[in-house]
Chain A
């Protein structure tokens, strides 16, 4: 395919370029939305691409060894927002295929949302660079090395050269920690027996920093550091009958022999109990506030939510024995 070796150098070179252009245009046509092609007429040449993996540089022959590794460094990506059940708003400024990617990568350059490609000014500029144009190394599909090619452009793509964005760094720091969804406890719990209409229900969630914070992290880019602190403000319980109960902490586990046994929970309960007999799937959502502060003095906050699985409560009618 694109291998070269021996022969008429100039001819081989031209053939390679033609093949490269064709390939790159195919790629561009396949991945780039029309807006991306709307720029000036561009010259494109392909870098190393090959069926079944990327070609490896000389002296780095087994570079594809990591391909099957699940822990492949999400390159610029970082994967965005791990394991969230509920409505998180982890919107990033740079996205590809619904995935948040870094707007800048120290090796790949700046990300262009229009084309889904990273652009980096080639260093040094090749000898065949016409006046007023520059060659860029372009890595598409959100950072896929197999898509790497060169483009000759009149002007840099939008967003090229923008300085680090503290909010993006805050989101990157956030992606490096796990805000876990709450794990629930309820009394009465269906597996242990039914409860009765009108009696207090207790709700509690697993305590701990991973579930309620505070959690800290930081991220840096080109001299700018952003530190974040993530903490749960409130936990909202969905009682599955249209009622919601808001608590400020994890609550208190019910103990049969505890001080409050048979009474309402001291800090997180559905004190009036269910008005009707039924089986209810109770769930809870934690509302996180992530405060960030940058080394340049800016600050802000991001909100996140995490939703639990369900815990079942069975409520029976209060039976009155008449005979």
Chain B
């Protein structure tokens, strides 16, 4: 059952513990007195084929995300339908907001973004099942420009930097990218 997952209980436990002192200054902590069952040790029951399929699906979602993000940024369309095909919240909303902010400043992204992603971890025994992705993105020729003049936005631009992302398997079986951060301070 999904309910037996250790990660989830850890969240509740921490939330309950942390809620104590915070709630003390106002409301009664209404933490439910449900006993916490001992977490079951997850046993790796997944075949190599499962893992390989997960890696492939995750990398496909990741490259789909980059392509959708490029296309949406080029068109200044925060609600480009492709975004929701490869992304999930909270990253989906973050990407939309970033494109929207550029659009509100009359800017768009153009050029080429070179990606070379690798899978750093596969976790199929957890709920949710996740695949961690690491990428060395080359954004040297991917620029933020003003749509009208095509001039580069002052202060923008980047080089080769580390990017990390998490692909998560959703209940309908799709792998979507729901976390993803550009570490501009970490060149690669």
Residues of chain A touching chain B, judged by Cβ–Cβ distance below 8 Å, are 3-10, 12-14, 17-18, 21-22, 25, 28-29, 34, 37-38, 40-45, 47-48, 55-63, 65-66, 68-69, 71-73, 107-108, 120, 122-128, 130, 135, 137, 145, 148, 150
- B22–A57 CB distance below 8 A: no
Give how many A-B residue pairs fall within 8 Å (CB-CB). Answer: 212
- A9–B123 CB distance below 8 A: yes
With A34-B26, A69-B105, A73-B101 as contacts: A21 and B11 at CB distance below 8 Å: yes
- B105–A66 CB distance below 8 A: yes
Enumerate chain B residues within 8 angstroms of A29, measured Cβ to Cβ: 22
- B93–A107 CB distance below 8 A: yes
Some 26 contacts from A to B, beta carbons below 8 A apart, are A3-B181, A4-B179, A5-B164, A7-B120, A9-B120, A17-B14, A18-B14, A41-B15, A41-B30, A48-B94, A56-B184, A57-B95, A57-B181, A58-B69, A58-B182, A59-B137, A59-B163, A62-B144, A62-B158, A65-B144, A65-B153, A68-B155, A73-B101, A107-B96, A127-B127, A148-B94
With A6-B132, A37-B27, A41-B30 as contacts: A61 and B90 at CB distance below 8 Å: no
- A127–B158 CB distance below 8 A: no
Q: How far apart are the CA atoms of A14 and B184 in the complex, in Å? A: 24
Interface residues of A: mostly helix, strand, loop or mixed? loop
Q: How far apart are the CA atoms of A261 and B112 in the complex, in Å? A: 73
- B98–A127 CB distance below 8 A: no
Nearest residue in A to B25 (C-beta to C-beta)?
A: A34
B77-111 vs A: 1/0 string, CB under 8 Å?
01000001000111111111111111011000100
- A62–B156 CB distance below 8 A: yes
For chain B, which range describes its interface: under 10, 10 to 19, 20 to 34, or 35 or more residues?
Answer: 35 or more
With A10-B126, A57-B180, A58-B180 as contacts: A128 and B8 at CB distance below 8 Å: yes
B113 within 8 A of A: yes
- A130–B121 CB distance below 8 A: no
Q: How far apart are the CA atoms of A124 and B172 in the complex, in Å? A: 10
Nearest residue in A to B96 (C-beta to C-beta)?
A: A107
Enumerate chain B residues within 8 angstroms of A47, measured Cβ to Cβ: 90, 94, 179
Q: How far is the CB of B8 from chain A (nearest CB, A)?
A: 5
- A120–B93 CB distance below 8 A: yes
**Interface residue from A22, A41, A60, A127 paired with B16 (Cβ < 8 Å):** A41
Q: How far apart are the CA atoms of A122 and B170 in the complex, in Å? A: 12
Q: How far apart are the CA atoms of A65 and B95 in the complex, in Å? A: 15
B148 within 8 A of A: no
- A38–B27 CB distance below 8 A: yes
Q: How far apart are the CA atoms of A45 and B178 in the complex, in Å? A: 13
B23 within 8 A of A: yes
**Interface residue from B23, B91, B144, B169 paired with A57 (Cβ < 8 Å):** B91
Enumerate chain B residues within 8 angstroms of A71, measured Cβ to Cβ: 105
B162 within 8 A of A: yes
With A21-B18, A59-B70, A59-B182 as contacts: A13 and B130 at CB distance below 8 Å: yes
